[in-house]
């Protein structure tokens, strides 16, 4: 099938659903956090705002210690990535390294802001008539407001939009298929703010130049489908459709969702835009609506605080920079038997040692587990080649073979087995009877590949520098040789010239002598 034919088939996205390879049917455990409406917790007194909240480089601080900032004021800038804004008005107390919400647990530069409680906004600059605004002005507004993908990858939304427009995409997919167990923040957002999501979808559609919008939700979200359908009908937007997809983990993965909606696989090493499609999270669409229509930057998000270790699980609308401990306190605190705190879901989340880490743009869930929720660690045993990991792998990889390549440092063949295509969903770990931590091995392998890539890049750079040095030395030697040759030639030419001058003088002198002799012979002596 040619790429052109695939693009044409992709235009039928959502007309009927398909299946991706593998996956797991898991208990979602979402109801416990969906009983109450979403509320904002009390305003924190101190907010820790990391300067790295997006895929890309660390933003440079635009403020100094002692500065007074306003709510929504830009405090960090990173071209061409997303900006960082102050979630409150108050005083910049410090700019220092603090532990960040990241699997590595490493510290990173953060701006510490002491709230003054006044919640005084900076001047906002919304786009009044966005329907007639240019696509570039919409994309610039999205960038200035610091919008990044709120599904977890936090890729800058403006960069994705600009790339999609350049590639002339035809379909925008809004991902509302929240496949990870326990996490329900997107579901609550779709329930409570469907109009804002539809508005964001329309704005993104215009910015991208897309023909249609498909909002994908899980087949268990009946109330969500009704809310979104009514909102789209009220907006009189016939180009937006709401499609239910089968609830099977990880159907919310970008590539898996596209395969479910179109039956097509994103090319290996390619992007959805290769098929004429762009995928965004529903929360990202809502943030885009606020950025364009109200001029509000991304300073807060819906987050699920749940698990058997939380007294009152629920969803909150939290300011970025709020410490997890503050959110847990707003949910009644921990239960007595809490044993572990996880950021994210149980499949792809990561444990943290402390709840002092702050909420960032990528934070969608704080999961507190009890000892009963945590499986006892089992000793790793040799692989028995049962093939269960390959059966459930949604990326159609051979995890057992990939593990073998990494374990034996066979990096070239590991790449051939699709190491970089692994989405780290954890399905293989879940079913492995030998308790092999396959995802940990794959993360290690990716780290080693990146390390090798950096080393190869450094080696290549050193080789080029050496070759350039050798070329420079050779050119210098040649130039010196040419210069010396010219000097010798000049000296030789000068010597020749001197010889000529001397010969001319000699000739002149000789001519004078001859002339004098002739005169003395031809004239008689008066004497």
Q: Tens digits of per-residue pLDDT, 34-74?
A: 999 999 999 999 999 999 888 778 889 999 999 999 999 99
Between β-strands 171-176 and 277-281, what pairing exists: parallel, antiparallel or unpaired? parallel
> Could you name the CATH architecture of 375-492?
Orthogonal Bundle (1.10)
CB neighbours of 161 closer than 8 A, spacing ≥ 6? Answer: 138, 139, 142, 204, 207, 208, 278
482, pLDDT greater than 70: yes
Using DSSP's 3-state secondary structure scheme, residue 323 falls into strand
Cα(313)–Cα(328) distance, rounded to whole angstroms? Answer: 9
pLDDT of 527 reads 40
Question: Order of strands across the sheet with 90-99?
Answer: 46-50, 107-115, 90-99, 68-69
- In angstroms and rounded to an integer, the radius of gyration of the C-alpha atoms of the chain is 35
Q: Say if CB 91 and CB 66 are below 8 A apart.
A: yes
Mean pLDDT of the chain: 90
Rounded to whole angstroms, what are the CA distances from 200 to 232, 426, 502? Answer: 11, 32, 95
| CATH top-level class of 3-319 | alpha beta
Pairing mode of beta strands 68-69, 90-99: antiparallel
Do 271 and 166 touch, CB atoms closer than 8 A?
A: no
Of the pLDDT bands very low, low, confident and very high (cuts 50, 70, 90), residue 514 is: low
Task: Give, for 367, the enclosing helix (H) or strand (E).
Answer: strand 365-370
pLDDT digits (tens, 9 = 90+) for 263-312: 999 887 788 998 999 999 999 999 999 999 999 999 999 999 999 999 99
The domains of the chain are located at 3-319, 375-492
Q: Does position 522 have pLDDT exceeding 60, yes or no? A: no
CB-CB contact of 164 with 273 (8 Å)? yes
Beta-strand pair 212-218/240-245: parallel
Strands 365-370 and 300-306: parallel
């Amino acid at each position: 099938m040619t790429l052109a034919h695939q693009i044409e088939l992709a235009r039928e996205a959502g007309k009927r659903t398909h299946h991706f390879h593998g996956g797991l049917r898991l208990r979602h455990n979402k109801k416990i956090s969906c009983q109450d409406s979403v509320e904002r917790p009390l305003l924190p007194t101190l907010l820790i705002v990391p300067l790295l909240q997006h895929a890309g480089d660390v933003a440079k601080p635009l403020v100094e210690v002692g500065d007074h900032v306003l709510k929504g004021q830009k405090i960090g800038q990173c071209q061409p990535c997303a900006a960082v804004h102050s979630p409150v008005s108050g005083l910049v107390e410090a700019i220092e390294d603090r532990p960040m919400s990241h699997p590595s647990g490493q510290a990173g530069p953060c701006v510490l802001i002491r709230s003054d409680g006044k919640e005084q906004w900076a001047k906002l600059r919304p786009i009044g008539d966005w329907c007639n605004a240019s696509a570039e002005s919409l994309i610039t507004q999205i960038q200035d407001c610091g919008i990044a993908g709120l599904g977890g990858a936090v890729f800058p939304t403006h960069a994705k939009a600009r790339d999609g427009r350049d590639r002339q995409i035809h379909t925008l997919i809004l991902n509302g298929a929240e496949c990870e167990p326990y996490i329900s923040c997107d579901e609550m957002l779709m329930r409570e703010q469907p109009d804002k999501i539809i508005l964001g979808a329309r704005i993104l559609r215009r910015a991208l130049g897309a023909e249609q919008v498909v909002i994908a939700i899980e087949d268990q979200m009946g109330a969500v489908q009704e809310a979104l359908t009514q909102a789209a009908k009220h907006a009189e937007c016939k180009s937006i459709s709401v499609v239910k997809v089968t609830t099977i983990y990880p159907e919310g993965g970008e590539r898996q969702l596209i395969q479910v909606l179109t039956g097509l696989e994103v090319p290996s090493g390619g992007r959805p835009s290769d098929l004429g499609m762009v995928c965004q999270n529903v929360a990202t669409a809502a943030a885009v609506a606020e950025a364009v229509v109200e001029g509000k930057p991304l300073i807060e998000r819906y987050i699920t605080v749940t698990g058997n270790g939380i007294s009152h699980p629920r969803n909150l609308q939290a300011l970025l920079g709020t410490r997890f401990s503050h959110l847990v306190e707003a949910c009644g605190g921990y239960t007595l038997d809490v044993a572990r705190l996880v950021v994210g879901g149980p499949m792809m989340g990561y444990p943290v040692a402390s709840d002092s880490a702050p909420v960032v743009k990528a934070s969608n869930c704080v999961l507190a587990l009890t000892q009963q929720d945590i499986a006892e660690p089992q000793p790793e045993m040799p692989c028995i080649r049962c093939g269960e990991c390959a059966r459930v792998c949604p990326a159609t990889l051979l995890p057992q073979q990939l593990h073998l390549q990494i374990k034996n440092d066979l990096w070239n063949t590991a790449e051939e087995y699709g190491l970089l295509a692994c989405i780290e969903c954890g399905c293989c770990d879940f079913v492995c009877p030998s308790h092999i931590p396959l995802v940990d091995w794959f993360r290690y392998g990716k780290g080693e590949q990146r390390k090798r890539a950096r080393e190869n890049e450094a080696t290549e750079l050193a080789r080029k520098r050496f070759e350039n040095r050798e070329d420079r030395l050779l050119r210098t030697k040649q130039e010196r040789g040419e210069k010396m040759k010219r000097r010798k030639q000049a000296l030789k030419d000068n010597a020749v010239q001197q010889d000529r001058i001397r010969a001319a003088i000699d000739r002149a002198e000789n001519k004078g002598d001859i002339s004098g002799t002739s005169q003395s012979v031809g004239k008689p002596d008066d004497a």
